[in-house]
Structure 1
Amino acid sequence: MLDSNFFRYTGTTLCCDDVKLEELAANFGTPLFVTSRRSVIESYKAFECAFEALPHFTCYSVKANYNLSVIRTLAELGCGCDVNSAGELYRALQSGVSPDKIIFAGVGKREDEIVYALQSGVLMLKAESLSELRAIDRIAGELGLTASVAIRINPNVTAETHPYITTGDSKEKFGIDEAELSTVFSLLSRLPNIKLVGLDMHIGSQIFDPEYYVAATVKLLAIFKASRELGFAIEFLDIGGGFPVTYDPLKPATPIEHFAEKLVPMLLPLDVKVIFEPGRYLVANASVLLTRILYKKSNHTGKQFFVVDAGMTELIRPALYQSHHEVQSVTFHEEEVIADVVGPICESSDFFARHRAIGAAEEGELLAVMSAGAYAAVMSSNYNGRLRPAEVLVNGSEVKLVRKRETLEQLVQNELT
C-alpha cells in the first residue's frame, strides 16, 4: 500500500484530502484524474526548504503535468517554468507565469517556436546544437532582439535509470557534447545577436543516487570556469531535474535533502544563481487515476484479471517503461487476490499491474492507480477512439473540475471530409 497524508483511508474508504474518491467518481465519472492541491504545495515547499541555503530559482518542468491549475498553483508560490514547446509556453503564460520566469528548452525547436519565445520575453532559450545557435542568432537579428541563451551540455554521465529516461549519456540526442565546447565558445563569440547567460545539464529522470549529480556537476563547474576565463558573463547554472519519487513502497526514493547535502557545498561558493527543473518530484504523488472494475475473469490456469475502464490511453507508463504503480481498492478489503489489472485497449501491453496482490473488490467497484500525477494525463491519447478523461483538483474539502471530459464530437472536430 502506498499511503500519504493526501491519499489515505478514512475508515474503509480511500480519500483525497477530505473528499471520498467514491463521491468524486459518482459526480464526475471514470476514468478520472484526481489531484491534491495540498500535495503539490507541500512537495514544492519541501524542495525549496532543502535548497534554501543556495541562491536558486526553481522552474517547474511543465512536461510532467501541464494542467493549467497545477501550473497556476506553483506559479502562485513563486515557481517558474521549464517549457519544451510553443504549446507548453502558451500553457505557462495562460496560467499566469511571468515570461521572465520561463526557460525554453527542447532539442528540436521550430523557427516559429523560437520567434514565439523571443517575442514573449522568456528568461532564456536553452540551445542544444551549433545549428540551433546559428538559427537563434539569425532569428533574433531579424526581430531586432538580443537572445539570452544557455547551452545545454551533455556531460556523458550514464545514470542508473530506465534507458528511455536517460538524457546525459553521449549516445543520446540531448545537449552539446563536452568535446565540442571549444567550437561552441568560438562560435558564440562571433554571433552578434546572442548573449550567453547560462550553462545547463540534465542527466535523466528517477535518479536515486546523488553521486551521479555530483559527477555531472563537477564537469559543469569545469566548463563554467573555462567560460568565465573566456569572458562570458555566466549568470545561471542549470542543474536540471530528475529527482526521484516513490512509486513502489519497497523501493523508496532517496530524500531530496540527500541531494542538497551533496550539491549545495559545491555550488554555494559560486557567484551565480542555480536553476533547478523538478517536474515529477512536485506532482507525481499528487494524483491518482480513478477507474472502475468492469469485469472480473479468470482463465483455465486460474489466473485472474480485473478489467477496468482506464487503460494505456490514460496512463502509458507501465506499457512504455514497465513502470510500477501501486493499485488500491477504493473500498478497503481485508482479503486480497492475486490478479492482473488490465484495461480495454486492443494491446497486450495494456495493463497497470501484473500478478499483483489487490483488494478483493467486486465488479462495479473502484480502483485507484496511485502516483499518477506525472507523465500520465499529458501522455494520454485518443487511440481506439478513446475520450481523454476529466480531471479534478481537490483542496481540503473543496473540489474543482479543472479539465472536462472529452466528447465524441471533439474527437472529429478538426477533421475534414
Structure 2
Amino acid sequence: MKKHYYYSFKNTLNECQAVSERTIFHYSKNTLCCDGQRLDDLADTFGTPLFVTSKKNLITRYNEFEEAFSGLPHFTCYSVKANFNLSVIKTFGELGCGCDVNSGGELYRALQAGVSPEKIIFAGVGKKAEEIAYALRSGVLMLKAESLSELAVIDRIAAESGNVALVAIRINPNVTAETHPYITTGDSKEKFGIDEGELDAVLMLLSELKHVRLAGLDMHIGSQIFDPEYYVAATIKLLAILERVKAQGFAIEYFDIGGGFPVTYDPAKQATPIAQFAEKLIPLLRPAGVKVIFEPGRFLVANASVLLTRILYRKQNHTGKQFFIVDAGMTELIRPALYQSHHEVLAVTRHKESVEADVVGPVCESSDFFARHRTIDDAAEGELLAVMSSGAYAAVMSSNYNGRLRPAEVLVDGQDVRLVRTRETYEQLIQNELL
C-alpha cells in the first residue's frame, strides 16, 4: 500500500466552524471551505488541479440512504465505478457497505481497500475469462450474468476449479427512463442485460449447467432518474419475473434493483429525496421475501468532492465574450463535454461583482469546458475556482490526453487532511512504454 500523508489546518477550523454544521462546502468570511478547511489553503499546500473530498459527506450520504431503506431487508453495495479511490472505498467498507465492481481492476481496488470478498458482487456486460476466474478465486458473493454465452463461460471456469458459482441474471426490463441517452441502461435497444423474451432459454440452460447456481435477479435502468415511478414500473416487471423463476424451482435469495438515484448538480433542479423512492419501493419489495441489493454510486459520492482549479488567463474576443482559462480541463472532469452536464463553478474567494463568461480548460478541444455563458464571480488571474459536485465520474474518467498529469486528491476529515492520491509525474507518463 502507498504511504499516506496527513496535514493539519487547525488554525482555520474556528473560522469556519459556525457554518460547517449546516453544509460541508460553504463560505466563511468570503472564502470557500470544506468541512472547516479553507480551500485556498489546500490549493497552496497540494497545488492544482486538486480533488478535495469530504469524508463527513461520504458518511452522511451513506447513513441517509440506509435510514431511508431501514424498513427493508437489504444489502447496499457501493458502485465502485463512480469513484474508485481506495480511501473512498475504505470509508464505505468500514461502514458495513459492500461493493459492486465491473472489472478485475475494480475488484482488485475493493479488495486492497479491505472490503471482504463476500460483500462484493461482480457485474459487467463484457467480462473476460480471466476476470471471471479472478472473481471466483477471490470468493466474491456472486457474478451477474448478462447473456447465455456468459453463463456458459462462467460454468466452464467454475468447473475447472471445482467450484459452483453463484450468479444473478440481469434482466432488461425495457423501461426507458427520462435521462441522458448515454446513461440509460434499461431500454431493450441497449447492450445491457437479458431480454425478458430470452428468459425461458436462460432458465433451461441454468437447469443444465452443473457449476452455476442461480441465486439472484438483477436490473439497472439508468442514472440520474428523478421520477420514482420508473423504478416502480421496472420493479413490478422484475417481481413478475421472480414469480416465474420461483415457479420453475429456482431458489432466489437476492433481488437487485441497481442504483441510479439522483443527485443535485444544478441548484435550479433539486434531486428527488431518497426517502420518496423508499416510500414507493418498500411496500412493493417487502412481501417478496428476498434480500434486496442496492448499488448506489453517484448518490453517495457526487457532492462529496470539488475540483479546485486556478485561473491561468482571462481573455475577451472581438464580440466581447469573456473566457476564464483554467488549469483543469476535460482530462480531469469530462462530464460537461461527454454528457453536456451542469456543474456549478464558484470562486473560492467571493467577489461583489460578477461577469458572464465561459470557463474553459487548456486541452486542445473545443469541448474542453466546464461552463458556457455562465454568470460567475469577477475573479482575477491566479485566483481559484471550485467545480462543484465532482465526486462521481470525474477522477475515474480522467486521462493523460495532451500528456497531462492526473491530479492529486485529498480527503478532509475534520482537522485532518489526508493526501489519498499523489499527483502524477512526467516519469509515470511513460513508465510502461518501451523504446
Same fold (TM over 0.5): yes
Asked if residue 165 in structure 1 is aligned to residue 183 in structure 2, the reply is yes
Q: How far is the alpha carbon of 1:97 from its aligned partner?
A: 0.2
Q: Paired residue for 1:280?
A: 298
The secondary structure found in structure 1 opposite 2:191 is coil
Q: Paired residue for 2:58?
A: 40
1:207-246 deviations in Å (ceiling 9; x for gaps): 0000000000011000101111111000000000000000
Of residues 406, 416, 421 in structure 2, which corresponds to 1:398?
Answer: 416
Q: Paired residue for 1:138?
A: 156
Q: Paired residue for 2:78?
A: 60
Q: How far is the alpha carbon of 1:118 from its aligned partner?
A: 0.2
Of residues 71, 75, 91 in structure 1, which corresponds to 2:109?
Answer: 91
The secondary structure found in structure 2 opposite 1:416 is coil
Moved over 6 A (4+): none
Of residues 387, 399, 413 in structure 2, which corresponds to 1:381?
Answer: 399
Asked if residue 331 in structure 1 is aligned to residue 349 in structure 2, the reply is yes
Which letter does structure 1 place at the counterpart of 2:269? Answer: K
Unaligned runs of 5+ in 1: none
Q: How far is the alpha carbon of 1:269 from its aligned partner?
A: 1.1
Mapped partners of 2:346, 2:415: distance in 1: 22
Mapped partners of 2:265, 2:352: distance in 1: 22
Q: How far is the alpha carbon of 1:270 from its aligned partner?
A: 1.7
The secondary structure found in structure 1 opposite 2:402 is helix
1:349-393 deviations in Å (ceiling 9; x for gaps): 000000001011000000000000000000000000000000000
The secondary structure found in structure 2 opposite 1:268 is helix
Which letter does structure 2 place at the counterpart of 1:387? Answer: L
Q: Paired residue for 2:209?
A: 191
Unaligned runs of 5+ in 2: 1-19
Asked if residue 240 in structure 1 is aligned to residue 250 in structure 2, the reply is no
Q: How far is the alpha carbon of 1:271 from its aligned partner?
A: 1.4
Q: How far is the alpha carbon of 1:396 from its aligned partner?
A: 1.2
Mapped partners of 2:60, 2:327: distance in 1: 31
Asked if residue 354 in structure 1 is aligned to residue 354 in structure 2, the reply is no
Q: How far is the alpha carbon of 1:11 from its aligned partner?
A: 1.1
Which letter does structure 1 place at the counterpart of 2:294? Answer: F
Q: Paired residue for 2:26?
A: 8
Mapped partners of 1:100, 1:337: distance in 2: 53
Which letter does structure 1 place at the counterpart of 2:340? Answer: Q
Asked if residue 18 in structure 1 is aligned to residue 36 in structure 2, the reply is yes
How many equivalent residue pairs?
415
Q: Paired residue for 1:249?
A: 267
The secondary structure found in structure 2 opposite 1:331 is coil
Mapped partners of 1:10, 1:225: distance in 2: 56
Q: How far is the alpha carbon of 1:307 from its aligned partner?
A: 0.1
Which letter does structure 2 place at the counterpart of 1:348? Answer: S
Asked if residue 364 in structure 1 is aligned to residue 396 in structure 2, the reply is no
Q: How far is the alpha carbon of 1:315 from its aligned partner?
A: 0.1
Asked if residue 207 in structure 1 is aligned to residue 225 in structure 2, the reply is yes
Q: Paired residue for 2:169?
A: 151
Q: Paired residue for 2:199?
A: 181
1:27-60 deviations in Å (ceiling 9; x for gaps): 0000000000000000000000000000000000
Mapped partners of 1:258, 1:375: distance in 2: 25
Mapped partners of 1:396, 1:319: distance in 2: 33
Mapped partners of 1:390, 1:242: distance in 2: 27
The secondary structure found in structure 2 opposite 1:252 is coil
Q: How far is the alpha carbon of 1:184 from its aligned partner?
A: 0.5
The secondary structure found in structure 1 opposite 2:251 is coil
Q: Paired residue for 1:224?
A: 242
Of residues 87, 95, 98 in structure 2, which corresponds to 1:77?
Answer: 95
1:377-415 deviations in Å (ceiling 9; x for gaps): 000000000000000000112100000000000000000
1:81-100 deviations in Å (ceiling 9; x for gaps): 00000000000000000000
The secondary structure found in structure 2 opposite 1:212 is helix
Asked if residue 316 in structure 1 is aligned to residue 334 in structure 2, the reply is yes
Mapped partners of 2:269, 2:415: distance in 1: 31
1:282-334 deviations in Å (ceiling 9; x for gaps): 00000000000000000011000000000000000000000000000000112
Which letter does structure 1 place at the counterpart of 2:125? Answer: V
Q: How far is the alpha carbon of 1:195 from its aligned partner?
A: 0.6
Of residues 89, 104, 109 in structure 1, which corresponds to 2:127?
Answer: 109
The secondary structure found in structure 1 opposite 2:342 is coil
Mapped partners of 2:300, 2:214: distance in 1: 29
Mapped partners of 1:244, 1:336: distance in 2: 30
Provide TM-score, normalisation by structure 2: 0.95
Mapped partners of 1:142, 1:73: distance in 2: 36
Q: What is the aligned-residue identity percentage? A: 76
Q: How far is the alpha carbon of 1:335 from its aligned partner?
A: 1.1
Which letter does structure 2 place at the counterpart of 1:320? Answer: L
1:107-161 deviations in Å (ceiling 9; x for gaps): 0000000000001000000000000000000110011000000000000000000
Mapped partners of 2:277, 2:367: distance in 1: 35
Mapped partners of 1:334, 1:125: distance in 2: 55
